[in-house]
Amino acid sequence: MLKYLNILAALVLSATPLMAQSKYGLGRPALPQEVAAWDHDVRPGGIGLPPGSGDVLTGETVFADKCAACHGDFAEGVGNWPKLAGGDGTLANKDPVKTVGSYWPYLSTVWDYVNRSMPFGNAQTITPDEVYAIVAYILYSNYMVDEDFTLSNENFADVEMLNVSGFIMDDRDQAEYAIWRGEPCMSGCKDKVEITMRATVLDVTPDTPSDTTVIEVAATDTPEEAPGTMPEVAAIDPELVAAGAKVYKKCAACHKIGAGAKNGSGPQLNGIIGRLMGSADGFKYSKGFNAAAQEGRHWDDETLGAFLTKPRDFMKGTKMSFGGLKKSEDINAILAYLQSASE
């Protein structure tokens, strides 16, 4: 046993500083190549990055294959797994949504974490180029870059995170340590310890969409018909509407609908049938949708069906990362659901 302990001690101390070597007479300074074998960190500014590059569209494919099972197709999070996109303007809220876009101050942290720890259960199986692509896609999902963006070790330092100025330096060594290290107060103590407050939110990531993303539609609902709309809701099969509500769950992370719905990562969809393209108040559309609005193009069952099938083919440059619905029955169902929610 002593033999093995001596071997272990020699291994541990082999990387100790020269001062420890001279003091204890054990080990030696680590060789440069030995340090390099363990030195894989990436620091702000891109120091430590390997050469490589990856674009947003490649990142979408890799993300769908290796990351979406936990983080969702659009980085919106699945169940209790973390959200990576969204959360703009929520840091002052009671339940802030801390994502790469809303909270993280350094892009190097994103790259380093993906490279070291992802995918879950199969860490360090992603190539550097794939890591660049995944990080580019996460940036795109947070509306920080366009879809034609390519991230590389050469332009890495040019990307400025949205919350880079949202942190302060840790000055506790100057402001507080002296207080903590003084003589402890041992008088005037309370008679007993009491719990005065409890956490009010234990899980800030719900498993089901919020109330603003679900509309209950009865077969007798008959909203007023607007120009360019489909037949009245009463003529739509209620089962088709219900099926569309299920399909809509794929959209709910980005698009809200119903009473009080607001723009999120995508525009709110109230009254989408018959609505002018690119016209949701307060939403920042891509150039293609801005042009469509100027041309006076409106959404109807035909244009929506084409868009939901292949978004990027229908509207070049759209920021919507969803690849499209493959089944015609899903498209028909979601059209019925959207029509039922239109005003």
Contact 132, 151 (CB under 8 A): yes
Residue 145 has pLDDT above 90, yes or no: yes
Instruction: Give the residue carrying structure tokens 């030696």.
Output: 28
For residue 225, give Cα distances in angstroms to 229, 242, 278, 319: 6, 21, 21, 30
Residues 6+ apart with CB under 8 A from 159: 107, 139, 144, 145, 151
pLDDT digits (tens, 9 = 90+) for 70-94: 999 889 998 888 999 999 889 999 8
Both tokens assigned to 22: 């001279």
Going by the DSSP 8-state scheme, the letter that residue 46 receives in this structure is T
How confident is the model at residue 235, as a pLDDT? 58
Domains and CATH numbers, the chain: 2-38 (no CATH), 53-158 (1.10.760.10), 211-341 (1.10.760.10)
How far apart are the C-alpha atoms of 97 and 101, rounded to whole Å? 10
pLDDT digits (tens, 9 = 90+) for 170-224: 898 888 888 777 787 788 888 888 877 776 655 544 444 444 334 443 333 444 4
pLDDT digits (tens, 9 = 90+) for 108-130: 999 999 999 999 889 999 999 99
242 exposure class (CB count in 10 Å sphere: 0-12, 13-18, 19+): middle
80 exposure class (CB count in 10 Å sphere: 0-12, 13-18, 19+): exposed
Element (H or E) spanning 243, and its range? helix 238-247
How confident is the model at residue 134, as a pLDDT? 98
Residues 6+ apart with CB under 8 A from 14: 27, 28, 30, 34
Closest of 152, 141, 139, 144 to residue 54, by C-alpha: 152
How confident is the model at residue 274, as a pLDDT? 86
- Tally: H helices and E strands in the chain: 14, 2
**pTM attached to this predicted model:** 0.51
Contact 66, 128 (CB under 8 A): no
Least-confidence region, from 8-17, 75-84, 149-158, 229-238: 8-17
Closest of 20, 12, 16, 41 to residue 30, by C-alpha: 16
The number of angstroms, rounded, from the C-alpha of 138 to the middle of its chain's C-alpha atoms is 6
The number of angstroms, rounded, from the C-alpha of 124 to the middle of its chain's C-alpha atoms is 21
How confident is the model at residue 203, as a pLDDT? 53
Closest of 292, 329, 325 to residue 311, by C-alpha: 325
Residue 158's φ and ψ, nearest 5 degrees, are: -80, -15
Closest of 75, 86, 99, 96 to residue 201, by C-alpha: 96
Residue 150: strand pairing partners: 55
Element (H or E) spanning 291, and its range? helix 287-295
pLDDT digits (tens, 9 = 90+) for 164-173: 999 988 898 8
Q: Where are the alpha helices (DSSP H) in 14-127?
A: 18-24, 32-38, 56-66, 68-71, 107-117
Going by the DSSP 8-state scheme, the letter that residue 330 receives in this structure is H
pLDDT digits (tens, 9 = 90+) for 275-315: 899 888 888 888 888 888 898 999 888 998 899 888 878 88
Q: Which amino acid is at 161?
A: M
Contact 70, 141 (CB under 8 A): no
Q: Quickly list DSSP for 76-129.
A: ---TTSPP-S--TT-TTSSS----TTTT---HHHHHHHHHHH-STTSTT-S-HH
Residue 237 has pLDDT above 90, yes or no: no
How confident is the model at residue 21, as a pLDDT? 52
How confident is the model at residue 23, as a pLDDT? 72
Both tokens assigned to 103: 């909270």
**Average pLDDT score, the chain:** 81
DSSP 3-state percent helix, strand, coil across the chain (nearest 5): 40, 5, 60
Counting every residue written for the chain, the total comes to 343
